[in-house]
């Protein structure tokens, strides 16, 4: 997986430090135990991407119209 982030120095540091592992179900997750430094920026980014994908699917299921 590739990520473009505009060469932000803190996110670059977090990406370099990040290590992923698979759980019993085969899902990949970041692990702080195996990381070589701070990974909080990558964890926050993954959570944000997951939240946008979740809400995008909900929005497609029930279109709504609002009138003011």
Total tally of structural domains belonging to the chain: 1
Cα 62 to Cα 3: distance, rounded to the nearest angstrom: 31
Amino acid 4: pLDDT: 79
Q: Residue 50 is part of which domain span?
A: 9-54
64, part of any domain: no
In a domain, 35, yes or no: yes
pLDDT for the residue numbered 2: 74
Neighbours of 19 (CB within 10 A): 13
The pLDDT of residue 58 is 61
List Cβ neighbours of 23 (8 Å cut-off, separation of 6 or more).
29
| Beta partners for residue 29, in sequence order | 21
The pLDDT tens digits along the chain (68 residues) read 677 778 889 999 998 999 999 999 999 999 988 898 999 999 999 898 888 887 766 656 666 676 66
Q: Give me the pLDDT at residue 10, please.
A: 92
- Answer yes or no: is 24 within a domain: yes
Q: Is 1 inside any structural domain? A: no
Tell me, yes or no, if the pTM score tops 0.85: no
């Amino acid at each position: 997986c590739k990520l473009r982030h505009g060469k932000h120095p803190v996110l670059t540091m977090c990406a370099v430090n990040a290590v992923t592992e698979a759980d019993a179900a085969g899902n990949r997750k970041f692990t702080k135990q195996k990381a070589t430094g701070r990974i909080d920026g990558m964890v926050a980014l993954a959570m944000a991407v997951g939240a946008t994908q979740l809400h995008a699917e909900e929005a497609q299921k029930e279109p709504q119209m609002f009138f003011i």
